């Protein structure tokens, strides 16, 4: 797989999931529903900057996807890769705007999420006078948290506004670093992985408080998540494992792989379980590209259950075996990124770059236990 393949594969994924998200929103609220970021006079500022066109309704957003698709030309040239990147960025803006539909508030203190007009205007004079030399954005954290904190403090010492996302937020919070406009260190968001994990934990807590059940499923090695949570010393009682032996390794590793790639098998499995409204299905598939887990998630949602997935977003640019090219996150209410690299190997063991050392089971079980 070339770099262009990964770029264009990611473009296809971003485009498809944005179209699906818009279609779902229209089905719920209608094409005339207003769409915007709060407290701003700009109608989706990135798209407006690139095209000069304003977007104020879901219908207009849907129509704008044709403009975005036109940017995603897939000729193997650097210019095309850059244009496709712009298209993906605009998709990201649309997905972010959809979070605010119908007055929703997707972020909580100390997260700012979208920076409103008042916040941006406050930066105007200091930027012109030089009192504010610039803005630094820290996306994620360093392997050593102390390096993240040192970087943030170095910018802060120069009077630069520091905006943080993802692991950088946790690293600085753990170090006791203050945040806020007054100290010029602001939190944009905790990152999709952290936010998704917190939402998953809250959703599970609400389900169990209302006497719902937690169903757990996975194929191949991922089935060990169900083994871990079921009938576990120190664990919870209302855990209902879905053990499909044909998809487990003890009946044949090759067979389990074949079953995981089969379409239509999930319906035969899900009908044997009383999963329904008020329950949660926790489903693990690190690659997230095989039909069986995706169709299990889809079937559970059709029966009224909420679906929480654990998968590696590193695979989102990889081809899917699903008939429509979808990935596991497309079928989940919440999907948590376990950050496992493609190939599930982390330690280089040969001079030619060959790696070993799988971590997906450890990562997924740690996520599940942390949230349960």
CATH number of the CATH domain containing 177: 3.40.50.2030
Please compute, for residue 84, the number of CA atoms within 13 A of its CA located in the half-sphere on the CB side. Answer: 23
Largest CA distance in the chain: 71
* 62 and 80 both lie in a single domain: yes
Asked if residue 112 belongs to a domain, the reply is no
Specify if 109 maps to a domain. no
pLDDT given at position 250 = 92
* Residue 38 and residue 51 in one domain: yes
Stretch 218-235: mean pLDDT: 94
Rounded CA-CA distance 250/113 in Å is 47
138 and 59 share one domain: no
Task: Please indicate, yes or no, whether residues 322 and 245 belong to a single structural domain of this protein.
Answer: yes
Residues 156 and 298 in one domain: no
Reduced to 3 states (helix: H, G, I; strand: E, B; else coil), residue 189 is: strand
Mean pLDDT computed over 295-305: 96
Residues 182 and 281 in one domain: no
What is d(CA 15, CA 59) in angstroms, rounded to the nearest whole number?
16
Residues 171 and 318 in one domain: no
95 and 132 share a domain?
A: no
- Provide the residue range defining the domain that includes 53: 3-103
Mean pLDDT, the chain, integer: 91
Q: Is the pLDDT of residue 254 over 80?
A: yes
pLDDT tens digits, one per residue of 175-198: 999 999 889 999 998 876 666 777
176 with 202, same domain: the answer is no
Last residue of a domain, one of 160, 190, 220: 190
* Stretch among 182-196, 295-309, 314-328 having the lowest mean pLDDT: 182-196
**Phi, psi values for residue 55, rounded to 5°:** -125, 125
Picking from 103, 135, 151, the residue at the C-terminal end of a domain is: 103
Q: How many Cβ atoms are within 10 Å of 23's Cβ, its own excluded?
A: 13
Domain-embedded: residue 111:
no
Q: How far apart are CA 158 and CA 296, in angstroms?
A: 52
**Which burial class, exposed, middle or buried, applies to 261 when counting CB atoms under 10 A from its CB (0-12, 13-18, 19+)?**
middle
Report d(CA 356, CA 359) in Å as an integer: 10
Q: Give per-residue pLDDT as tens, 203-216.
A: 898 999 999 999 99
Query: How much is the pTM?
Result: 0.61
Contacts 24+ apart (CB under 8 A), 355-363: 358/221, 360/221, 360/222, 360/286, 360/312, 361/221, 361/222, 361/224, 361/225, 363/338, 363/339
Enumerate the H helices of 30-114 as residue ranges.
45-51, 58-71, 78-98
Q: How many domains does the chain have?
A: 3
Q: How far is CA 312 from CA 60, 107, 137, 287, in A?
A: 33, 23, 24, 6
For the domain that residue 303 is a member of, what is the CATH number?
Answer: 3.40.50.10490
CA neighbor of 338 nearest in space, from 321, 317, 359: 359
Q: Are 163 and 212 in a shared domain?
A: no
Between 16-20, 133-137, 236-240, 297-301, the lowest mean confidence (pLDDT) is in 16-20
312 shares its domain with 214 = yes
Q: Which two tokens stand for residue 61?
A: 């957003």
The pLDDT value given to residue 193: 64
- Is 219 a member of any domain? yes
For residue 22, give the 3-state DSSP assignment: helix
pLDDT for the residue numbered 8: 83
Beta carbons of 48 and 54 less than 8 angstroms apart: yes
- The rounded percent of the chain whose pLDDT value lies above 90 is 59
Which pLDDT does position 287 carry in this prediction? 95
Rounded-to-integer distance, Cα 168 and Cα 193, Å: 13
CATH of the domain at 64: 1.10.8.190
Cβ-count burial 151-182 (b if 16+ within 10 Å, e if not)? bbeebbeeebbbbbbbbbbbbbbeeebebeee
What is the predicted pLDDT for the residue at 194?
Answer: 66
- Asked whether residue 276 falls in the same domain as residue 291, the answer is yes
Residue after which a domain boundary falls, among 190, 205, 229: 190
Q: Which residue has the higher pLDDT, 262 or 122?
A: 262
């Amino acid at each position: 797989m070339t770099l262009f393949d990964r770029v264009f594969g990611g473009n296809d994924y971003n485009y498809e999931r944005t179209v699906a998200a818009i279609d779902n929103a229209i089905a719920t609220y209608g094409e005339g529903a207003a769409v915007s970021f709060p407290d701003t006079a700009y109608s989706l500022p990135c798209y407006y900057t690139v095209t000069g066109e304003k977007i104020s309704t879901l219908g207009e957003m849907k129509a704008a996807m044709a403009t975005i698709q036109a940017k995603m030309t897939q000729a193997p040239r650097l210019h095309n890769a850059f244009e496709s990147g712009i298209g993906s960025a605009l998709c990201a803006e649309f997905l972010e705007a959809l979070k605010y539909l119908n007055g929703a508030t997707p972020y909580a203190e100390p997260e700012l999420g979208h920076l409103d007009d008042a916040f941006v205007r406050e930066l105007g004079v200091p930027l012109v006078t030089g009192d504010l030399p610039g803005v630094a954005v820290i996306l994620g954290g360093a392997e050593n948290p102390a390096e993240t904190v040192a970087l943030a403090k170095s910018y802060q010492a120069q009077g630069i506004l520091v905006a943080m996302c993802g692991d950088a937020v946790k690293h600085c919070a753990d170090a006791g670093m203050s945040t806020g406009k007054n100290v010029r260190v602001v939190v944009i968001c905790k990152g999709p992985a952290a936010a998704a994990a917190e939402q998953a934990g809250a959703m599970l807590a609400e389900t169990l408080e209302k006497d719902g059940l937690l169903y757990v499923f996975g194929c191949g090695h991922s089935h060990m998540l169900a083994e871990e949570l079921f009938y576990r010393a120190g664990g919870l009682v209302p855990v209902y494992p879905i053990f499909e032996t044909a998809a487990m390794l003890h009946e044949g590793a090759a067979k389990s792989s074949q079953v995981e790639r089969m379409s239509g098998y999930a319906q035969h499995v899900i009908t044997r379980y009383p999963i329904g409204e008020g329950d949660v299905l926790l489903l693990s598939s690190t690659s997230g590209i095989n039909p069986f887990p995706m169709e299990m998630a889809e079937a559970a949602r059709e029966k009224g259950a909420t679906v929480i997935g654990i998968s590696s977003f590193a695979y989102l640019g990889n081809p899917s075996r699903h008939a429509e090219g979808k990935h596991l996150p497309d079928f989940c209410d919440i999907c948590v990124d376990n950050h496992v690299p493609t190939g599930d190997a982390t330690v280089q063991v040969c001079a030619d770059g060959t790696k070993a050392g799988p971590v997906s089971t450890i990562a997924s079980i740690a996520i599940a236990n942390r949230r349960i």
